[in-house]
Amino acid sequence: MEEKLQAILEAASKEAVELNARPDFEAFKARLVGPHGSLTDCVKSVGKLPKEERPLAGKAVNQIKKALEALFTETLQRIETAEMQALLGPAVDPSLPSAHFPAGTRHPLSQVRDAISEIFRKIGFTIAEGSELESEWYCFDALNTPDDHPARDEQDTLFLPEGLVMGNVDKKADERYVMRTHTSPVQIRTLLKEEPPLRIVAPGRAFRRDTVDATHSANFHQIEGLYVEKDCNVTDLKAVLDYFLQELFGSEVQTRLRPSFFPFTEPSFELDMKLPNLGKLSDQWIEVMGCGMVDPEVFKSVGYDPEAWSGYAFGMGIERLAMLLYGVDDIRYFYQNDLRFLRQFTS
């Protein structure tokens, strides 16, 4: 039996190198391991041997079977490579690595969003999420924004008709749905969901009824920040925002807080920055975000004791920061999917 098996393998090895076409290969394989193949016959004959001879014979058959399988794989690969080469012609070597195929890249706004989030992540802020579709309470009331505030005007805000909305945004019967006009409702969602102390940033989309021009888009992006602690004050706010802008724009950045007004912060500020190397905008104060100390009314609306808790909040436009970082002078470039623009942000 052993000799017979060796002879099968030797003959097969010799024959294999002569094979050059797939049909010949298939026929060759069938002559060995097909239903009436020579190896198949050997396998069958093992069963007819006396019981004590079977293990040894079985082992020998298996060894040859393995060797034949390796031979099949190798032969088929050789035939396939030759066929491919015949198709491609002599100029192409299919064994070489493929030519460089350009991979895509993240959109510049995503890159800036991630860079900003990462700076805050380093000092312990986590990422929070809210909802782009909000009820009036989350977007305005809970943020101490009265009914007659201009932001609630139909001129500025996209209100949605009742029948259009499916799903389950919390809303009381007498409220309307809005596309959030800022990311500040994430403050409310976070305050309700988590236990203080809190340290979050919330990047996301916001929507306003703006007419699109070089600096306005009806659909833009913001990053909200919220910090809630015991005994927190304006110095903490300023320190964190100074650190943030230095990380993003470099150590030469100067900052100042300018008094402002937001219904949900008291006191409220605009944060301005100045840089020596910002092209046309060098050496002048540029407004980069709104911020302030969380208004006690906001704490009250989410059931926090304003005597026990304090905090600060800030909100900035991602497009605006991206335009300053990269010297882009028209916000519309970000949405046109023009590869000549986008390719400049390939990292």
Which range binds ligand PHE by CB under 6 A, 13-21, 237-245, 309-317, 336-344? Answer: 309-317
Contact 311, 226 (CB under 8 A): yes
Best CA proximity match to 342, nearest among 110, 105, 103, 112: 105
198 in contact with ligand PHE (CB under 6 A): no
DSSP 211: P
To the nearest whole angstrom, how small is the minimum distance from the Cβ of residue 187 to ligand PHE? 7
291 in contact with ligand PHE (CB under 6 A): yes
Contact 133, 165 (CB under 8 A): yes
Best CA proximity match to 161, nearest among 149, 181, 178: 178
Footprint on residues 210-239 left by ligand PHE (CB under 6 A): 224
47 exposure class (CB count in 10 Å sphere: 0-12, 13-18, 19+) = exposed
In the bound state with ligand PHE, the residue whose beta carbon lies nearer, of 184 and 190, is: 184
315 in contact with ligand PHE (CB under 6 A): yes
108 in contact with ligand PHE (CB under 6 A): no
To the nearest whole angstrom, how small is the minimum distance from the Cβ of residue 315 to ligand PHE? 3
Interface size with ligand PHE, residues (CB under 6 A): 11
Q: Which amino acid is at 84?
A: M
In the bound state with ligand PHE, the residue whose beta carbon lies nearer, of 61 and 151, is: 151
To the nearest whole angstrom, how small is the minimum distance from the Cβ of residue 333 to ligand PHE? 22
Best CA proximity match to 219, nearest among 233, 235, 208: 208
DSSP 143: G
In the bound state with ligand PHE, the residue whose beta carbon lies nearer, of 46 and 225, is: 225
290 in contact with ligand PHE (CB under 6 A): yes
What count of other Cβ atoms lies within 10 Å of the Cβ of residue 35? 7
29 in contact with ligand PHE (CB under 6 A): no
310 in contact with ligand PHE (CB under 6 A): no
Q: Give the three-class secondary structure for 129.
A: coil
Strand partners, 154: none
To the nearest whole angstrom, how small is the minimum distance from the Cβ of residue 282 to ligand PHE? 25
Q: Which of 152, 182, 199, 320 binds ligand PHE (CB under 6 A)?
A: 182
Best CA proximity match to 334, nearest among 315, 326, 204: 326
Residue ranges in contact with ligand PHE by CB under 6 A: 182, 184, 224, 262, 265, 290-292, 313-315
